[in-house]
């Protein structure tokens, strides 16, 4: 599995949690720095951000991808729309949560959200 990480670096413990949840080996993590200029178009910056990954159209459509989205909601939404266009479906996304009472603050894997399944289920309520 290839993880596209648009957020903070993932720890070894988080990667182990992901492998246990998915029953797949994390083969590679691409850490993608996501710093946007608020004075410029976010859609253009998202496209440029994704272009730098240099995945082929076949790779976008066939690799097992998991996305750790950026924390800024507007960027995350535009990113998911761009990824859907390139992949042909919504990718699964990672949700982290803070570990209560941990000092320093730590985060653990809360769940993997299958966005395509969410979308497909919502279509039944149209």
In the chain, the number of structural domains is 1
CA distances from 44 to 33, 77, 83, 119 (A): 16, 13, 13, 25
Provide the residue range defining the domain that includes 77. Answer: 2-123
pLDDT score, position 38? 96
pLDDT tens-digit profile, the chain (126 residues): 999 999 999 999 999 999 999 999 999 999 999 999 999 999 999 999 999 999 999 999 999 999 999 999 999 999 999 999 999 999 999 999 999 999 999 999 999 999 999 999 999 998
- DSSP character at residue 30: E
CA distances from 58 to 20, 86, 99, 109 (A): 27, 10, 38, 29
pTM beyond 0.85: the answer is yes
Output Rg (C-alpha) for the chain, integer angstroms. Answer: 15
């Amino acid at each position: 599995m290839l993880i596209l990480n648009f957020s903070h670096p993932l720890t070894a413990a988080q990667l182990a949690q992901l492998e246990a949840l998915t029953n797949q080996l994390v083969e590679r993590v691409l850490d993608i720095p996501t710093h946007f200029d608020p004075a410029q178009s976010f859609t253009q910056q998202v496209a440029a951000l994704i272009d730098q990954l240099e995945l082929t159209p076949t790779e976008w459509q066939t690799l097992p991808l998991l996305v750790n989205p950026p924390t800024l909601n507007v960027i995350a939404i535009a990113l998911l729309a761009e990824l859907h266009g390139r992949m042909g479906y919504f990718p699964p996304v990672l949700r982290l949560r803070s570990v209560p009472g941990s000092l320093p603050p730590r985060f653990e894997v809360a769940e993997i959200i299958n966005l395509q399944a969410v979308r497909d289920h919502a279509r039944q309520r149209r």
